[in-house]
């Protein structure tokens, strides 16, 4: 009997930001703000829209918008094609915004890492923490 290995792992990063949901939502969905904390992009918050996230050093991610609930939920695929299966990635990033007394709780889950992709999983954990730092700076400057 063969059992297909379908188990995947997620990276979850959560933080409470001192801003209302609509301010965070703008930073998640407006291309020039998204560029300031994440990457260059041709994002539009429309389900089905395909876009790229582009790193300054030449790397590119292939993405597609999956869910848009303004000020509440945003999800998109986050894929990276590479011949080496260690680097090939098909993942989904979901942002969930929940209003709190002090602002907004933001939860980011990136799902789809295979168990053998420890390096990529660890990198994502570090990367998202840094991106959240930049996101906070970007929204603060918008005030």
Binding site for a second copy (CB under 8 A): 39-40, 52-61, 78, 80-84, 87, 89, 91, 119-120, 123-124, 126-127, 130-131
Written as one string, the DSSP assignment of 13-54 is EEEEESS-HHHHHHHHH-HHHHHHHT-EE---SSTT-EEEEE
Secondary structure string (H, E, C) spanning 48-91? CCEEEEECCCCCEEEEEEEEEECCCEEEEEEEECCCCCCCCEEE
Minimum distance between the CB of residue 125 and a second copy, rounded to whole angstroms? 9
Q: Enumerate the β-bridge partners of residue 96.
A: 73, 107
Which of 47, 60 has the CB closer to a second copy?
Answer: 60
Minimum distance between the CB of residue 47 and a second copy, rounded to whole angstroms? 22
Which of 21, 108 has the CB closer to a second copy?
Answer: 108
Minimum distance between the CB of residue 53 and a second copy, rounded to whole angstroms? 8
Which of 29, 91 has the CB closer to a second copy?
Answer: 91
């Amino acid at each position: 009997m063969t059992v297909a290995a379908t188990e995947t792992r997620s990276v979850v990063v959560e933080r409470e930001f001192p801003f209302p949901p609509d301010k965070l939502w703008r930073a998640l969905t407006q291309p020039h703000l998204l560029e300031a904390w994440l990457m260059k992009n041709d994002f539009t918050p429309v389900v089905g829209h395909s876009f790229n996230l582009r790193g300054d050093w030449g790397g590119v991610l292939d993405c597609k918008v999956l869910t848009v609930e303004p000020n509440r939920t945003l999800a998109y695929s986050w894929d990276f094609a590479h011949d080496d299966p260690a680097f090939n990635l098909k993942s989904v990033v979901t942002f969930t915004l929940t209003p709190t007394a002090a602002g907004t709780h933001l939860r980011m889950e990136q799902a789809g890492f295979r168990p053998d992709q420890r390096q990529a999983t660890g990198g994502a954990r570090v990367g998202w923490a840094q991106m959240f730092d930049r996101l906070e700076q970007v929204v603060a400057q918008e005030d």
